[in-house]
């Protein structure tokens, strides 16, 4: 049951992240501006909520699908890891600034890059934890 709940959360997060990341297409942009022939949105929710949520859900979805096919011991091992990781990663992402005011932007890790980093590490470590727990019983 918890596996399907996690998959549902991952899919819901993806959908919400997609909608917030594309506010013009969904008609939820409050501050619109035009530059050249393009129309863009000025809402901060895209950078602060939409893009991080979309990036993290893209990293969580493969884990959720793998969890559907492994045994319950592997799921329980992963669940212990995920509780701590997601809490710590969320706090780190929240504390990361959305954009840099530095002239050396290539050294800066913004909210989107940090989300991809935390999500990528979550994906890799999760697959290792699941594989270890799954093959350990054999």
Q: What is the dihedral of CA 10, 13, 18, 20, to 10 degrees?
A: -170
Q: Give the torsion sign (CA, 104, 105, 107, 110).
A: positive
Which of 39, 20, 17, 43 is closest to 30 using CA atoms? 43
pLDDT reported for residue 88: 94
Show me where the domains of the chain are located: 2-136
pLDDT per position as a tens digit, 1-43: 788 998 999 999 999 999 988 888 888 888 887 888 888 887 7
Beta carbons of 27 and 88 less than 8 angstroms apart? no
Q: Identify the residue with better confidence: 62 or 28.
A: 62
Higher-pLDDT residue of 118 and 24 is 118
Q: How far apart are CA 5 and CA 12, in angstroms?
A: 10
Q: pTM score, two decimals? A: 0.75
Burial of 55 (0-12, 13-18, 19+ CB in 10 A): buried
């Amino acid at each position: 049951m918890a596996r399907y709940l996690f998959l549902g959360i991952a899919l819901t997060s993806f959908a919400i992240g997609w909608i917030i990341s594309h506010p013009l297409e969904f008609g939820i942009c409050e501050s619109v501006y035009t530059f050249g022939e393009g129309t863009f949105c000025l809402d901060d929710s895209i950078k602060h909520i939409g893009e991080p949520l979309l990036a993290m859900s893209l990293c969580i979805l493969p884990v959720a699908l793998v969890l559907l096919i492994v045994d319950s011991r592997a799921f329980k091992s992963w669940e212990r890891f995920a509780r701590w990781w997601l809490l710590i990663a969320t706090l780190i992402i929240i504390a990361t600034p959305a954009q840099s005011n530095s002239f050396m932007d290539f050294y800066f890790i913004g909210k989107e890059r940090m989300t991809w980093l935390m999500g990528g590490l979550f994906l890799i470590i999760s697959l290792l934890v699941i594989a270890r727990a799954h093959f350990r019983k054999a």
